[in-house]
Structure 1
Amino acid sequence: MTTKRVLITGAAGFLGSHLCDRFIKEGYHVIGMDNLLTGNIKNIEHLFPLKNFEYYHHDVTKFVHIAGDLDYILHFASPASPIDYLKMPIQTLKVSSLGTHNLLGLAKDKKARILVASTSEVYGDPAVHPQPEEYWGNVNPIGPRGVYDEAKRFMESMTMAYHNFHGVDTRIIRIFNTYGPRMRLDDGRALPAFMSQALTGQDLTLFGDGSQTRSFCYVDDLVEGIYRLLLSDYHLPVNIGNPVEITLLQFAQEIVELTGTNQKIVHRPLPTDDPKQRKPDITKAKTILGWEPKVDRKEGLKITYEYFKQALGK
């Protein structure tokens, strides 16, 4: 039987590297691609000796060529944290527009199935709670977060256009807050910020009064959802995330308790267009994919904390 070949863009990133591991484990030939704008080569170095892994240092906003057959493409290249896309707004827009266009063209040429990584940010600051896939969102296109939110919305539109007009076999995942080993310490999002602050003796910075909510999904659960969606027959968007909701104040308190530190929680002004609520409706994932998260937040945070301790040399 011929080994199936999969291209994973953003391969050296947090999610991309875990996807490389999963597809290697499942017996695929994995082609990892990254320009290391926000990725870290250390995340995939352990795969370099394997004969069924190859790596291309390439920017997907430029023409993408892969020799030979290709069965699947997973498009995970993009800055994904506010600290990154506020610093690199043009690159963020380009990777989800030009990059997606290039990869959809490649999928069409190779007759490959392509899964694109969208995000809960397409819902903006939602007026509907929890957020089902049918909700169209509440997004400010010219606000600071618009470069990410609208880039992902455009990505979804282009993916559906290629599906409907060219008959490309497409999948769309909407990813909610995810955490786990290989998150960047300087990511800027709540979990790495709280953990690195706690471990370095700094006060924990909480934006606003902390009443805004998030729902945190452990990375292994997310990867399982992605894998199931790719191999499913469903081409419309699917939410993958953990529906257990928590306020950011409660979350900061959990981190203080977990790390055994005695730092204070200090409040800063809420960033523009910061979502007040975030919780996925995962009915579709349950019914279509037979998927729901398995890893309890307490267990996932312990594993992540050990990773951060090691990363910081604690």
Structure 2
Amino acid sequence: MNPTPDVTTRPIRRAVVTGGAGFLGSHLCTELRRREVEVVCLDNFLTGSAANIEHLVGDPGFRLVQCDVTDYVHVPGDVDLVLHFASPASPIDYLKLPIHTLKVGSIGTHHALGLAKDKGARFVLASTSEVYGDPQVHPQPESYWGHVNPVGPRGVYDEAKRFAEALTVAYRAEHGVDTGIVRIFNTFGPRMRPFDGRAIPTFIRQALAGEPLTVAGDGEQTRSVCYVSDLVRGILALAGSGHSGPMNIGNPHELSVLQIARDVIAATGSSSAVEFVDRPVDDPKVRRPDTALATEVLGWAPEVPWSEGLGRTVEWFRQSAAARPVSAAPGLG
């Protein structure tokens, strides 16, 4: 870990975002354009959606390239920043696409790092709190090595990200690439897919439909959820610094899954009940970031309260449901 919070000398004029049509990637593209940074979005639309970036299409400062980063990656022209966010990220995706998840974490990261090396660009890897596994240290500081089952069902995602971190560190050490690693904790907000398997969009979808909210186990396992605008602000602050990370970005306020479900019912005005279902294998009992490093180095802290972020997200889901054709069938796209 680089303890020196030196500031990069490179202005960010043009950025490449892999996985730029995904939930987080699309919000990064939007914020970069708001900051007048030219954006090249790379996505194969395996889990991303064209709807997430349709507001940027036609913007002369935004370019969309449909490609798979596990293939050769070529971007003509200068690049100042590579944000590597391509990967299936929800359990329903990486359990369905285990080999591709491992390939994008290994081969895809190799290609994205190669692009950054070729362009002399700053590189930021989207890692995850999943590198801590089912943690035995709470809250989780960046110095914690984790408690991960490499052969469990979640191992394809956990180990893909752990390998990606190791490769990123190797490129920094051997090739002198200016790299940063951000460990992202549970994030929520508009553009989440209603059928992606994560708790918050699942609960909102169920509540709006008047269905029971399916809570795993007894619901006492905890999560720390961060609104997407706070997360994007933290990621771009890390990108604009010279810090190598790894750095936790997430909300240190902890909620039980059962409390999240009850809050969703209240926010939607639903009469839905809670239904308890079996807890998934290797589901973490606790998950909360130690964000002291981000505060010290970046001056970053989350600003959007849970209730406010939840209200915004519920409203987005309501509007999306209203705009969806009646004949549309639910799916993973």
* Same fold? TM cut 0.5: yes
SS at match of 2:322: coil
CA deviation string 1:273-305 (max 9, x = no partner): 000000000000000000000000000000000
Alignment of 1:175-186 (within 5 A): 175-186=184-195
Give distance in 2, aligned partners of 1:41 and 1:265.
33
SS at match of 2:30: helix
Could you say which residue in structure 2 is the equivalent of 1:162? 171
Provide the identity percentage.
58
For these two proteins, the number of residue pairs brought into alignment is 313
Of residues 159, 162, 167 in structure 2, which corresponds to 1:153?
162
Whether 1:65 and 2:74 are equivalent positions in the alignment is: yes
Give distance in 2, aligned partners of 1:42 and 1:253.
30
Kept after mapping to 2: 8 A contact 1:3/1:27: no
Whether 1:267 and 2:273 are equivalent positions in the alignment is: no
CA deviation string 1:246-268 (max 9, x = no partner): 10011111111111111111111
Whether 1:228 and 2:228 are equivalent positions in the alignment is: no
Of residues 9, 16, 21 in structure 1, which corresponds to 2:25?
16
SS at match of 1:11: coil
> Which letter maps to 2:89?
A
1:157 is displaced (CA, Å) by: 0.2
Kept after mapping to 2: 8 A contact 1:124/1:275: yes
Could you say which residue in structure 1 is the equivalent of 2:331? none
> Which letter maps to 2:53?
I
Whether 1:114 and 2:100 are equivalent positions in the alignment is: no
Of residues 275, 281, 292 in structure 1, which corresponds to 2:290?
281
1:67 is displaced (CA, Å) by: 0.6
> Which letter maps to 2:46?
L
Kept after mapping to 1: 8 A contact 2:80/2:122: yes
CA deviation string 1:75-119 (max 9, x = no partner): 000111001100111111111100000011111111111101000
Structure 1 residues 194, 3: CA separation in 2 closer, same or farther (over 3 Å shift)? closer
Give distance in 2, aligned partners of 1:272 and 1:261.
30
Alignment of 1:122-133 (within 5 A): 122-133=131-142
Of residues 112, 118, 125 in structure 2, which corresponds to 1:103?
112
Give distance in 2, aligned partners of 1:205 and 1:242.
24
Q: Give ranges in structure 2 of 5+ residues lacking alignment.
A: 1-10, 324-333
CA deviation string 1:113-133 (max 9, x = no partner): 110100000000000000000
CA deviation string 1:5-44 (max 9, x = no partner): 1000111100000000111111111000100000000111
1:3 is displaced (CA, Å) by: 7.6
Give distance in 1, aligned partners of 2:294 and 2:148.
24
Could you say which residue in structure 2 is the equivalent of 1:192? 201
> Which letter maps to 2:166?
S
Could you say which residue in structure 2 is the equivalent of 1:80? 89
SS at match of 1:222: helix
Give distance in 1, aligned partners of 2:179 and 2:224.
27
Of residues 78, 99, 104 in structure 2, which corresponds to 1:90?
99
Give distance in 1, aligned partners of 2:101 and 2:41.
19
Runs of 4+ residues over 6 Å off in structure 1: none
> Which letter maps to 2:42?
M
1:154 is displaced (CA, Å) by: 0.3
Give distance in 2, aligned partners of 1:42 and 1:250.
31
Q: Give ranges in structure 1 of 5+ residues lacking alignment.
A: none
Give distance in 2, aligned partners of 1:3 and 1:221.
20
Normalised TM-score (structure 1)? 0.98
SS at match of 2:201: helix
